[in-house]
Amino acid sequence: MKTRRFTAVFFTTLFLISCGSSMERDAKKMVDLQCKVEKLQQKAFSGDMSNTEEMQELIAEAAKMKREMNEKYSEMEEKASFAKILMQTKSDCN
């Protein structure tokens, strides 16, 4: 009986850890896209309009990724965890 309980706890922990690292990778990728867009927007605001096409492509890619993340993390707890990781990762951009 103890072996079964240990096995169940072990696999549950393993599953949660693997989900967390996937979520962190997704958040990092999302933040990287957002940071690139922000940098290009800052250039555009200062008068440099040479990268508008690249900025539009990145915005479209970020929107697509946001839709994918909303589908992937559809449960409220997952969304809350993803948002928390996203905010923590966002500080790396500044």
Which pLDDT score, from 0 to 100, does residue 9 have? 46
| Whether the Cβ atoms of residue 86 and residue 25 lie closer than 8 Å to each other | no
Q: pTM for this structure?
A: 0.66
> What tokens appear for 74 in the block?
């559809």
Q: Residues 64-80: what's their mean pLDDT?
A: 91
Task: Indicate the average pLDDT of the chain.
Answer: 79
Q: Is the pLDDT of residue 69 over 50?
A: yes
Q: Residues 16-36: what's their mean pLDDT?
A: 79
User: What burial letters (b/e) apply to 24-46, b meaning 16+ CB within 10 Å?
Assistant: bebbeebbebbbbbeebeeeeee
Q: Which residue has the higher pLDDT, 71 or 1?
A: 71
Could you tell me the CA-to-CA distances from 33 to 13, 27, 38, 77 in Å, in that order? 31, 10, 9, 24
Quote the CA–CA distance of 3 and 20 in Å, as a whole number. Answer: 26
Contacts of 64 (CB under 8 A, 6+ apart): none
**HSE (side-chain half, CA atoms, 13 Å) at 69:** 24
